[in-house]
A and B are shown apart, each in its own frame.
Chain A
């Protein structure tokens, strides 16, 4: 056989497919406690088999009669309807043992496809803890397929599963027929299927009638119409405070470290081009961004904890009503929340939204949620311009400014969503139908893995794209050198200087100087580069080798200009990867063009208005 055998994991949302996938392939795909984490097909090779075998991880689905784009992916893959894709040879149906009925229903539906199938009965640890007892052998006989009990979080039973897969891989493949699915012949069958499942369960499973009490108690607090909101806002407040107050000592430490490093290198290296390159191009550029690692880590720590507990869907539940007024819904909450980390996964997550119009609006406003890449830009400018003083007794002025920037993004998103919805009123509604998963303690293993992943992504970005752009920018800012009869600083004659001066008239109404204009270009690749670009440009321009960028900015920008620059970054520029993912997810050049242009226009307008108003106020 030339192509390896192909297995596919299929099951309800949140039953543990991706956890199993990670165990079987050694991958580190994202796992979290809410339905709709996986929205794409993902493939990997199963480790530890005697023959090469491919495993597919799929989005969760309740039924083959799908209602949203992510479910469609799962269905297309297992039915072999994806262009250029062979359908899987063996289906591994995954069931959450605490949620048997729902899982078995899908399994029975899959069975009617007449395809080779085995069943992984996952979350057995949790089922035992709750007192659910399952006669697995009898159940396997009743539904007519092999069952393997698994615990995907500690790899119990995963070896058994691997063994079954290995045995299967060694058998010669056999041809089978396939049924087609239509709505009409499925309508009546739901009742009949459930009746069958009910009788199977009553014979082979002993289930307690109630969920653990603490779960219900927690829900009555967290989903309380009023107290629930208090809880939600308290959580957001704590996150905010943590990201900006707790991180600052570490940030200062790293900052001091890089300054020290710059000085150290400067004393050891002989004067000349190499020294300039290392101190101004590399240490200033890269260090300027790397100092924000602690904040990114803290932000992701909270996001990961919230994702793993199962709280997110409760927040979506509370916010469904207010979001509906904006043409969104509780279903758009998680994609929008993810966009605070990065708009790319946020936009991908909109695949869980069934309503195409709502999905479109969510994609269009997702980048207005301040992504973590903008954090360094905000933090740098705030630290340079906003005095560190208390406001109204308890608040910190810098923190408040930051909050205002985040809020400006959210409020603009609300306004734009509302405007877009008004154009499309009077349509039919789509249901919410959101599963609220059971609460779970966040697992230290997931947290550490997730944080390491995020830290690594950030460091890798700094080490690759940001470093590369810093170096390129340093060259552009250093060459060509000043002519012999130069009257201005050397950088004014460089390529960067010339380019900046070329752009500057366009941005003059916003108050931007040419250095700011230059920084906008590499920021299209990654927003943090705006910081390293400014660092490089100012480091090259300065006579001293001081790498403290903040003081350089404070000396050369006026306050209204700084505000205008912040306003620009609330809206734009969208990084290239965001634009690419919008193109892929909307599959429309028109929508992508609209997206890009409207955000740029908004950024320009917001920066202009901010500059004019702030100038008038400052006098």
Chain B
């Protein structure tokens, strides 16, 4: 998990909530999200179970009301709506902007 925290400083890596609409990215790791408090571990597990695992390719489909929250992403052919709080747990590297 440590690598993922460092990942943020790497020029090519960012968090999913920082991506633009239409971007194709690859998951590099999951980091903690204090907003979820005691839930955080569960949320991380559920994200992994849904396929947000290192190496998985994602596509950012769009953003919700007035372009902010939540965001829709496609992983393994399935589309999910995530809030920014969840998206900020997911570190990604850009494949295609």
Residues of chain A having any CB pair with chain B under 8 Å: 62-63, 65, 67, 98-99, 101-102, 105, 183, 186-187, 190-191, 194, 207, 211, 216, 219-220, 223-226, 228-229, 313, 316-322, 324, 330, 428-436
Contact = CB atoms under 8 A, between A and B. Distances in A.
Given A318-B65, A428-B39, A429-B35, A63 B49 contact: yes
B81 A330 contact: yes
B81 A225 contact: no
A436 B65 contact: no
The 9 closest A-B pairs by CB, nearest first: A428-B37, A436-B79, A225-B67, A190-B48, A434-B81, A317-B81, A321-B65, A432-B83, A431-B86
B41 to A, nearest CB: 7
B69 interface: yes
Contact of A430 (B39, B62, B81): B39
Interface in B62-97: 62-70, 72, 74, 76-83, 85-86
B81 A102 contact: no
A538 B45 CA distance: 63
30 contacts: A65-B46, A98-B77, A101-B76, A102-B76, A183-B45, A186-B45, A190-B49, A191-B48, A191-B53, A194-B48, A194-B51, A224-B62, A225-B65, A225-B68, A228-B65, A229-B65, A313-B81, A317-B81, A321-B65, A321-B69, A324-B69, A330-B81, A431-B36, A431-B82, A431-B86, A432-B70, A433-B50, A433-B86, A434-B81, A436-B81
B61 interface: yes
Contacts of B62: 219-220, 223-225
Contact of B85 (A211, A313, A429): A429
B10 interface: no
Contacts of B38: 428
Contacts of A229: 65
Interface residues of B, number: 39
Given A433-B82, A435-B80, A225 B49 contact: no
Given A67-B46, A219-B62, A318-B64, A432 B51 contact: no
A317 B70 CA distance: 7
Given A62-B50, A211-B74, 12 more contacts: A62-B49, A101-B76, A102-B78, A219-B62, A223-B62, A225-B65, A330-B70, A429-B35, A429-B83, A431-B36, A433-B80, A436-B79
